[in-house]
């Protein structure tokens, strides 16, 4: 087992770092510009040096072995502006390359939304991998689904590992389990985006769809959940934190710097702790022999969900599941521990209008449950009698 000294860039609320530390690695410094996130980091990692702006960070600490970070995705995410890798925020990944040019750090771990693979007909991934190759790194990436690690949240994120020492694919491309997502919704809680309804639902059986960052001014945007007893609710922020692998109340320190709604933004932008822990475990274990099914792909089109490459080496795609493991988990209904909130009448009727005008497929029982919920909320009546 080999444990590394880690510098966390774009640290957010520390999801990558917490996961890596759970796998035995040591965080030596953090960098994060958001005041609310910094409040969380100061409280949860009180003994670490915390720098505020990567653009003013002159160099990495001596002895840095792993540079980790989920670089900003506002210009990349499907929920964002889709400006691309050259957008004001997402272009900050170039600051990582600037620091690497001044450092002998042997390993890099980057995380981002899976939409980066399709953005600009592959331009974003071409840019990131080409810069790493110019710096002498071999690289491999894989899209991982948080559900694989025991969390009832469908969250697909790209984890890219680069190294000057070993072949990264020998760490990331281990384990490939068929997804365990249930198809039968009956008797199970179902998550969905109540803010959608025309082009998508984010429908997830026994799970919630990807938690989103919400508004930049702190307006919360939690998913909704259709519970087996018929209620339509939204989860509490404490359960949202747990859905990302943090302990309940992890973001409470943010209240010293921002309104309460910003906690949803912080959680939605965070890295799932168990996913980062799995990568950390693979780093500790070191390279292993793998038997891969590979194929070539066109880098000027959408990139595959797993691939590897390096200097003077043609990139190859890998046929691999987003589930390297299948950690058992409880049902979403049992997972929720904090008090839920009934979806408001305004939110419900707005969602219903969009749902009826679209052509999405969903159970008719779901539509009827929404209609009943809207009527009950309109009449300001309790949904269910208390026994």
Residues that are catalytic: 73
Contacts of 3 (CB under 8 A, 6+ apart): 24, 25, 26, 284
Three-point CA angle 159, 220, 361, nearest 5°:
70
- CA-CA distances (angstroms) from residue 89 to 56, 93, 146, 221, 259? 15, 8, 25, 21, 23
**In this structure, are residues 284 and 25 in contact, taking their beta carbons and an 8 Å threshold?**
yes
- How many CA atoms lie less than 13 Å away from 376 in the CB half-sphere? 16
Sign, Cα dihedral of 272, 273, 277, 278: negative
| Gap between the Cα atoms of 235 and 212, Å rounded | 13
**In this structure, are residues 269 and 89 in contact, taking their beta carbons and an 8 Å threshold?**
no
| Gap between the Cα atoms of 68 and 9, Å rounded | 6
DSSP letters, 101-127, are: HT----EEEEEEEGGGGTGGGGHHHHH
| Gap between the Cα atoms of 246 and 260, Å rounded | 17
Burial of 106: CB neighbours in 10 Å, binned 0-12, 13-18, 19+: middle
């Amino acid at each position: 087992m080999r444990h590394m000294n880690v510098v966390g860039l774009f640290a957010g609320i520390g999801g990558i770092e917490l996961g890596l530390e759970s796998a035995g690695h040591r965080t030596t410094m953090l960098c994060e510009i958001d005041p609310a996130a910094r409040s969380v980091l100061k409280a949860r990692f009180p003994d670490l040096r915390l720098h505020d702006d990567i653009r003013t960070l002159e160099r990495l600490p001596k002895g840095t072995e792993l540079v980790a970070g989920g670089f900003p995705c506002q210009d990349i995410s499907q929920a964002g502006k889709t400006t691309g890798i050259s957008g004001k925020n997402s272009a900050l990944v170039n600051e990582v390359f600037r620091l690497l040019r001044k450092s002998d750090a042997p390993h890099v771990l980057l995380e981002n939304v899976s939409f980066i693979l399709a953005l600009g007909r592959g331009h974003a991934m071409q840019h990131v991998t080409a810069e790493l190759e110019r710096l002498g790194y071999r690289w491999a990436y894989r899209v991982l689904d948080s559900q694989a690690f025991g969390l009832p949240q469908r969250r697909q994120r790209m984890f890219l590992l680069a190294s000057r020492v070993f072949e990264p694919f020998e760490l990331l491309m281990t384990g490939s389990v068929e997804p365990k997502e249930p198809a039968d919704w009956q008797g199970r809680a179902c998550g969905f985006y109540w803010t959608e309804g025309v082009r998508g639902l984010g429908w997830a059986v026994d799970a919630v769809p990807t938690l989103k960052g919400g508004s930049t001014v702190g307006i919360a945007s939690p998913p909704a959940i259709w519970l087996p007893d018929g209620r339509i609710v939204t989860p509490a922020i404490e359960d949202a934190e747990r859905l990302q692998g943090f302990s309940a109340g992890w973001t409470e320190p943010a209240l010293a710097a921002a309104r309460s709604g910003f906690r949803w933004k912080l959680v939605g932008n965070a890295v799932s702790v168990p996913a980062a822990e799995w990568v950390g475990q693979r780093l500790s274990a070191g390279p292993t022999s793998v038997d891969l099914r590979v194929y070539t792909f066109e880098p000027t089109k959408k990139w595959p969900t797993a691939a590897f490459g390096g200097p003077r080496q043609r990139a190859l795609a890998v046929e691999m599941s987003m589930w390297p493991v299948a950690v058992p988990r409880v049902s979403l209904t049992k997972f929720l521990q904090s008090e839920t909130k009934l979806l408001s009448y305004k939110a419900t009727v707005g969602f219903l209008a969009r749902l009826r005008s679209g052509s999405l497929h969903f159970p008719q029982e779901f539509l009827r449950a929404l209609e009943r919920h809207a009527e009950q909320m309109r009449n300001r009546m309790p949904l269910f009698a208390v026994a």
